Structure 1
């Protein structure tokens, strides 16, 4: 009998071991999928498992994660949800076609996104959504669609890359913005997708050389001049309005945008770059009601794994785009199922499944659903308390110097309103660091060193995740950058649970700023010593 019992125990241990191995293999496959189906920005270093932004596909709950303006690591809760979803998918794939499953599931992602944003009611005009592997891809898609409408060349107008993204200007000119695309094909960065395409991009600065903000009238005057020149040259224009930018700006301001649209009419199309996703569903609906396209991603405020994107098209734009042909090269960027039914663009696209994109969007929608479950007055309370605490610290601690910003003013969408909306409260706070010895601003190179050291692991100290330094000023002839501390949807969810939970999140933010000041002081002290030795 003892032998039988021992044999049973052995069988149980073997079964448990096999089950554990299977779970490990399934987890490994999921992690690979989460970084598949995109360009080289998703590639992870084989040694540390992190991509070029310092993030990987697995949860890192020990991190002090306040860098969602750049990227985020998937939360533990989202990973559990996606892991369960992935297990169901793999089981179904044993008996069904992966392509059929993908088409169905990516369609559900589109439907879920529209439903969560209040855009799926049958009584409303239909909103079409194009899914994409990143926000930058969306800029490429919108430029390609508009350039294919008629014989007139297109000029896109965007903010400079330091307020949007490094590849936005290239993508908006209808050119490859990376060296590899989601099909895994190598391309030539900067080469036009459609040979002979005359699409061009013009950029506009919203800051002066010293980092201060240009007046809204100056920006509007420059925009008007650019569009007038385009009209004289027989061009059409796409103006990209950023809501919000890397440093929490809504630019150009909506009053100027609506005035320009009224002046230039059908010559000028508008796309709202809301890729930070720091705006409410009501604001998104209001933009669409104005006939503006809206670009979103799931990897900034929502803190889904990088990258995932969507372009929302109001009915008047969908009607125009349905018959537009795409450059053949876009077939390497996306598959048929990611584009709306009935669009001619689908004709050139392959029946290719991108399970990486599907899983990344599932994680982002999990976070969006959790965030939308919080009553708006509680979201307002959390954001207000966080903004007050961080703004006060940055303004009064001599280690920091806040970067100039301005209120998020969307009154042109709503008219006068006494109620404070959550997306009118900033959730990105940009700042310079000062040398602890002489009070001088740290240089761009020194800010990069601070960012890198904070993000590194070691000695049992949690990694600090801030938004990457934004190159936004020159002090004299010295380049300067600003770091950013940000709230994300998962942080708001955590802070909304109780007053104690809110106090904990704010305390973590203060710890992040403590650590940032300490690293800056240590690095600047070392620089001062080296300078004194060179001078001796």
Structure 2
């Protein structure tokens, strides 16, 4: 299917000599294929497999409307609309670069998307700053750097939900490299300290390991004990809280956060891991009003291409950075001048000028998805979310192959908007011997994303189900009772499902929601088919009981 992307012009069409040295240096990357640009400026997780032309999340660089995508907790293929937006934005940057130079033109565009993001999230333009990052993982390093400036010391990082956050957090929480190559293309050594950022960390998992798979009941107590330990003897803490986790959980409670504010008012900096973006705009503002930093992404719920991160800074943090613009030398490998707002002039002067075109284009696409979503009436967003939640929960409950896991109980408020409803639905997959192991779940996840219609002995109806590529949220490995290694898959409601369902005509909107639920029913049917078919026996061999 051809996407509505403007045909890329040549350098000559813009009046440029492609052999001139300054043009070759400054403009060369802009003339690369759009797919290449969209997968650039990240880390190896974005790399496309040479055969499948998909990354490790199962997504290619371009639109894939043939895939039924319920994987917004992990990554989504770019939509045709957002792909066209990225193509048009690239053309516009080319024209600006001819007039004022690539460096200046890129900086202008970054300021523009900074302003657009704040407007879409209804954040006060002068009270909140946005720092862009290639991914949420990179943004965690920026948050650590800001926390050091605010607290005046090297804090101990406390990670709430350490078992349900990104895999790189185990490294970034300690100020260490989380890969072998940074988004800037710098070779580093994984798990080695980042100059100026190294610190201690305390990991607090959310899963109740004592019994049934569900949230632990003592997380507030564990958080308070960890903060007390980190601040003993004059220490300080960077407390990374979860809203929401890979399983849709939020922790710690509001009461716990209030207690921390009373007992350690100047010793703890809170940063909210909101990278799933499954929280209302009012809640984001409330966090910022309290002086918390907030980690977000344009992917996950909103369905922009993977690897578009940002750190939202409250006014108090920005004031500290204006007074104390020192930047850890190791952070230079992860961030550049245009990532930071122009208001932080002194800090920006200490950073390299480096145009991350892939990061910028992924945010252009993500903002297009966000704008389409927030154009839909709030009442319909809530209605559609409720209808999809009810239908998905029924499908999981009725399937003999699926088992729902416990959900955290969360206080909701008006500012949660449609996120008063759950949008991530995790489930165990049960084979003949019990719940599939983590490895078996990963293999099943990959099989769901492929055309499996070549399996022998299928009826025509079964072949149609087996052929459909389906993306679900990647398996989340959990240690169940007796430390058995199991993993859950996730059916996810994302912004694009709501956008595709919307119609001003109630009957049409109802049919659109029903069509989505029919597709989810076929995903469940494909899971059951794969488990039952002899050719898929390896999926259920040596499964663990649960």
TM-score range, shorter chain: 0.7 to 0.9
Q: Distance in 1 between matches of 2:169 and 2:77?
A: 23
Match of 1:31 in 2: 35
Q: CA deviation at 1:20?
A: 9.4
TM-score, normalisation: structure 2: 0.86
Count residues with an aligned counterpart.
Answer: 500
Distance 1:148 1:523, change over 3 A: farther
Gaps of 5+ in 1: 1-18, 415-419
Distance 1:241 1:22, change over 3 A: same
Distance 1:144 1:521, change over 3 A: farther
Could you give the per-residue CA deviations for residues 344-385 of structure 1, whole angstroms, max 9, x where no partner exists? 432321111111111000000000000001111100110000
Match of 1:422 in 2: 418
Q: SS in structure 1 opposite 2:490? A: strand
Q: Distance in 2 between matches of 1:528 and 1:149?
A: 50
Match of 1:321 in 2: 321
Q: Distance in 2 between matches of 1:524 and 1:232?
A: 58
Distance 1:207 1:523, change over 3 A: farther
Gaps of 5+ in 2: 1-6, 12-28, 454-463, 504-508
1:3-82 matches, cutoff 5 A = 29-82=33-86
1:431 equivalenced with 2:420 (yes/no) = no
Match of 1:9 in 2: none
2:444 to 436, 444, 450: 450
Distance 1:225 1:20, change over 3 A: closer
1:507 to 492, 511, 518: 518
Q: Distance in 2 between matches of 1:501 and 1:27?
A: 39
Q: Distance in 2 between matches of 1:449 and 1:330?
A: 37
Distance 1:453 1:261, change over 3 A: same
Q: Distance in 2 between matches of 1:151 and 1:86?
A: 41
Match of 2:435 in 1: 441
Match of 2:347 in 1: 345
Query: Does the 8 A contact of 1:274 with 1:295 survive in 2?
Result: yes
TM-score, normalisation: structure 1: 0.88
1:289-304 matches, cutoff 5 A = 289-304=289-304
Q: CA deviation at 1:450?
A: 0.7
2:487 to 477, 481, 485: 481
Name whichever of 366-375 and 523-532 sits farther off.
523-532
Q: CA deviation at 1:496?
A: 2.0
Give the aligned CA root-mean-square deviation in angstroms.
2.5
Distance 1:320 1:531, change over 3 A: closer
Q: SS in structure 1 opposite 2:349? A: helix
Q: Distance in 2 between matches of 1:466 and 1:141?
A: 30
Q: SS in structure 2 opposite 1:93? A: helix
Query: Does the 8 A contact of 1:152 with 1:234 survive in 2?
Result: no
Match of 2:112 in 1: 108
1:355-434 matches, cutoff 5 A = 355-411=357-413, 421-434=417-430
Larger of the two Rg values belongs to structure: 1
Q: Distance in 2 between matches of 1:458 and 1:397?
A: 21
1:194 equivalenced with 2:195 (yes/no) = yes
Query: Does the 8 A contact of 1:495 with 1:503 survive in 2?
Result: no
Q: Distance in 1 between matches of 2:540 and 2:448?
A: 21
Q: Distance in 2 between matches of 1:510 and 1:112?
A: 37
Q: Distance in 1 between matches of 2:299 and 2:375?
A: 19
Q: Distance in 1 between matches of 2:520 and 2:306?
A: 23
